[in-house]
Chain A
Amino acid sequence: MTPHLTTLTDIISFGADRFPDRVALESSATPHALTYRQLWDCARRGAHALRRRGLERGDRVLLAAPPGPDWLLAFFSIEQAGLVAVPIPDGIGAALVAAVAAHTQTRVCISGPEQMAGPSTALRAGQVSCVTMPGLLDETVGTLDQQNHASDATALLAFTSGSTARPRAVALSHANIIANLRALMAARQSDGAETMLSMLPPAHLYELVVGQLAPLVVGGRIVYAGPLLPNRLVNALGEHGVTRALAVPALLEALCREVLGGLVERGAVRPACQHGSAVGIAMKLRQLGAPERERLRLAVRDRIGDAFRGVGLGGAAIGPGWPEVLALLGIGMDVGYGLTEAGPLVSLGWASNCPPGSVGRPLPGVAVRIDPHGEILVRSAAVMQGYFGDAAATSATLEDGWLRTGDRGYLDADGFLYIAGRLKEAMVTAAGDTLHPEEVEPYYASRFFAEHCVVPLRGSDGNDVPALVVVPRQQGSDEDLQREFGELRAAAPARYRVTTMVCRTEPLPRTLLGKLKRRELGALCTQTSKPACVN
């Protein structure tokens, strides 16, 4: 049964009524656990303590606690008090935290004990007081029971990890997030009894809404993973009876390799199935006979547990081959598309029910259309209120109720959505061609490159010059690399022949959530580019 929700704390007050003694939050590594009743009691006490500090409805509170039960408890305390949570991604550095505090005019930060030394120094300079969640609970024995805020009040300011623009604070109301939760429930027809392994930072809206709030709506349990060692994560799936987990592509790939490594150790597959590209691994697994494949799936289940239904993929698109590897191992996967401004989920689908390359169908109640330039537009009750303190950016992004996503895509005849690239990453060449890096990159995959991507360099005529940036593997000389580049180029369709290759020894720059910073890399390469390889 899905409860009637007006504000976000209704999720836990409902849980405290329906299943008070059920565990809501627990840590994988430590005995720290909270039942629904304890979560609700502590959140009301935390709310009381925040109000006693003189904070008033609508005031912002920075949330910089490490991922874990206390993070979500702090979140609900802030919401119960009618305040606005400003989640700070873990480890973004003191200067940025101080800038966020100044931009959002925040006076209080709920942080973790080990972080006190870093951000707190910068925050104190801006008159922000830091407190840990246990410290906050020690400040009062009273509770704040009445909710005195409305559904359309701002619940949080989410800093986007956008790959093409400077981070902005996205204002989302209680109603926005509840609308997204309802749409998700309707699409998934969840039967409850979820146990979610939380691996991603909760400051990422996808993790917060889909990974943490959604399971709590149906009385589920969240297990916080702790350090992201692949062996521990895969073991935790079976040990805790986990049903779902959300992952970004790099993490999901590491988990797949961990599962494959275990299969090799058990003799279920040949060692060659553990290494190399996903496309190669999929090819080797496909060659197995039906009985071997069944044995393989049983061995996988033995490791990850029978309860595990699947993994939700977010943050970026997964590399070619991985969806098939997962399917061959018998591991289900949700594909989807979303962005912070959309609250966040726009489309969702079970990978095996979706055409290859699609990101599922738009959720119920979410309207998607494609404008004449190919940009995906979204309208729903979950779309943000706007960018905090930035009316110009808001009016440029929200037009007549439609959210401009900045992503290019299309819908097929069956209503499946496909993403074709970031609009702002489109490269316009001197020949007048519009190229998207994602169209070009698949032609330059090579065993000589640990990583590769295509970025726009700024040509002398102001146009974009598409360039291939590679991080070479150790083996192979410069001549090998140049020869490989020549051969790849020759094999690519004329439209996708890139003329310049830039080598670097550093990994490609990515956002905290793993998205490639192509524009930044392009600007860097433009400053330092020369015909030979540069680092």
Chain B
Amino acid sequence: MHTDIETGVRELIGRICKLDASSLRRDDDLVERLGVDSLQGLQILAGVEKQFDVRLPDDELITLRTIGKIGAAIVRCRESEVLSPKF
């Protein structure tokens, strides 16, 4: 499910953190397991917003710490934009 999105997120994280993207699992905690610091975390979320053309909800940002959760948030953003398109 949503494999393309998760693949895109995985590659993005690999690029920003200079890690081998294929070694990242969808439920790896970016902070706990991968040692992503807070600034890299913000850069990842910035990259997600640009690459997938979404605006992630402010109150969810702090919870987006795995590839799976980021992917799901992107899907939710896209669905809500279909209901209320951007002007």
Contact = CB atoms under 8 A, between A and B. Distances in A.
A228 B58 contact: no
9 contacts: A229-B46, A229-B61, A230-B43, A230-B46, A232-B49, A251-B39, A254-B42, A254-B43, A505-B35
Contacts of A450: 18
B58 A231 contact: no
Given A226-B58, A230-B42, A473 B49 contact: no
A506 interface: yes
Given A29-B58, A474-B18, A231 B49 contact: yes
Contacts of B49: 229, 231-232
Interface string B38-54: 01001101100110000
Contacts of A355: none
Interface string A412-445: 0000000000000000000000000000000000
Interface in A294-327: none
A227 B37 contact: no
Contacts of B58: 29, 226-227
A473 B19 CA distance: 9
Interface in A444-462: 450
Contacts of B81: none
Nearest to A507: B37
Interface in A474-516: 474-475, 505-507
Contacts of B37: 507
Interface in B9-51: 18-20, 35, 37, 39, 42-43, 45-46, 49-50
A172 to B, nearest CB: 29
Interface string B52-84: 000000100100000000000000000000000
A228 B20 CA distance: 26
A258 B39 CA distance: 12
Specify the main secondary structure of chain B where it touches its partner: helix
Interface of A: 29, 226-232, 250-251, 254, 257-258, 450, 473-475, 505-507
B35 to A, nearest CB: 6
B84 to A, nearest CB: 17
Contacts of A229: 42, 45-46, 49, 61
Nearest to A261: B50
A227 B61 contact: yes
A77 B50 CA distance: 40
Contacts of B18: 450, 473-475
Contacts of A226: 58
A230 B42 CA distance: 7
Given A231-B46, A450-B18, A506-B35, 19 more contacts: A29-B58, A226-B58, A227-B45, A227-B58, A227-B61, A229-B46, A229-B49, A230-B43, A231-B49, A231-B50, A254-B39, A254-B43, A258-B46, A473-B18, A474-B18, A474-B19, A474-B20, A475-B18, A505-B35
Contacts of B61: 227, 229
Contacts of B50: 231
Contacts of A475: 18
Contacts of A227: 42, 45, 58, 61
A258 B19 CA distance: 20
B82 to A, nearest CB: 22
B8 to A, nearest CB: 16
A113 to B, nearest CB: 11
A473 B14 CA distance: 12
Contact of B46 (A232, A251, A505): A232
A232 B61 CA distance: 13
B55 to A, nearest CB: 8
Contacts of B35: 505-507
* 4 A-B pairs with the lowest CB-CB distances in the bound complex, closest first: A231-B46, A229-B46, A230-B46, A507-B37
B10 to A, nearest CB: 15
Contacts of A230: 42-43, 46
A168 to B, nearest CB: 25
Contacts of B45: 227, 229
B39 A250 contact: yes
Contacts of A250: 39
A474 B35 CA distance: 12
A257 B61 CA distance: 21
